[in-house]
Copies of this chain bind each other. A is one copy, B any other.
């Protein structure tokens, strides 16, 4: 229609200077009137890159991820950051959380890099991806090797340590740490928080006992019942609750049974302040800076994709936000 060859059209579409203004004009008019848009698929094929970031979640854990209070903030931060630099996000699920399963879906996708939302550390997967030269970033510490720094998260050891220290400083000793678990297995950040918790206990000279760790499912449907079951037989003076949903469920249980917070029990939550602002009473909590970690994740991943050196700064120390749910034990 513009009486030019595809090459010239290509040049126009790619803003090459090597086109006479008059020709460019003709081409643009034709493009306009035909509604022509270059085929994304052909471009991907030709360039070998898609400007797509794969967000990998295991199907087994997707509920856990999505119904986590931080998910919305995380999703927003990830997409906005990625879209800001011209990348789109593709949601990918693997059947389960094993390295092979992740690796299989990852290899078969046309994405330039992957964000792996894994519930557990997964050194094996990292090795496989390294071997294949596929850029990736995890949402948390995924390995114990010091050279494995391709993740960004809040420092969960510190979180557990600071939260426990806060309660211990208020004279609480009968503290329970409520954690979610998937098939009886602790997700990594709970392991870290637990280590921090134990560290604080030992500094205060309180012996750690197994029963201080209470496993209650973090899903909306099950949390409340789990809390109710626990309180049928136990009466601690303070709780640390690792999961926002469970924290909300606990508050609901207290509301329903006339248990006053913090007068009857002190509670510390973990997670984004934005979430806790919406609960009553307003919970004292360890704020995880989701916007920071999500932004960092995309940033690092893009650096890996572009082959640039990446800045190493995987952890951010969480902040204790004191609100209305913790009180000194007299």
Contact = CB atoms under 8 A, between A and B. Distances in A.
A220 B274 contact: yes
Contacts of A93: 79-80, 83
| Interface SS majority for chain A | helix
Contacts of A66: 72, 75-76
Contacts of A220: 274, 277-278
B91 A88 contact: yes
Given A52-B90, A90-B90, A37 B278 contact: no
A44 B43 CA distance: 11
A72 B244 CA distance: 15
Contacts of A44: 41, 44-45, 110
Interface in A14-64: 35, 37-42, 44-45, 48, 50, 52, 59, 62-63
A101 to B, nearest CB: 13
Nearest to A47: B41
Q: Which residue of A62, A245, A277, A278 has the most chain B CB atoms within 10 A of its CB atom?
A: A278
A164 interface: no
Interface in A73-102: 75-76, 79-80, 83, 88-93
Q: What is the size category of the interface that chain A forms with chain B?
A: 35 or more
A121 B200 CA distance: 56
B110 A39 contact: yes
Nearest to A128: B35
Given A52-B90, A90-B89, A83 B59 contact: yes
Contact of A251 (B41, B90, B248, B280): B280
Given A88-B90, A220-B277, A249-B278, A41 B50 contact: yes
Give the number of times this chain occurs in the complex, counting copies. Answer: 2
A248 B277 CA distance: 10
A208 interface: no
Given A50-B41, A66-B72, A251-B280, A91 B110 contact: no
Nearest to A95: B83
A303 interface: no
Contact of A42 (B39, B45, B108): B45
A256 B38 CA distance: 57
Contacts of A79: 62, 91, 93
A230 interface: no
A102 B165 CA distance: 51
A5 interface: no
A255 interface: yes
Contact of A76 (B63, B72, B83): B63
Nearest to A224: B277
A132 interface: yes
Given A59-B83, A79-B91, A108 B35 contact: no
Contacts of A50: 41
Contacts of A256: 280
Interface of A: 35, 37-42, 44-45, 48, 50, 52, 59, 62-63, 66-67, 71-72, 75-76, 79-80, 83, 88-93, 107-110, 132, 220, 245, 248-249, 251-252, 255-256, 274, 277-278, 280
16 contacts: A38-B108, A40-B108, A42-B45, A45-B45, A52-B90, A63-B76, A66-B72, A66-B75, A79-B91, A79-B93, A90-B90, A220-B274, A220-B277, A245-B278, A256-B280, A280-B280
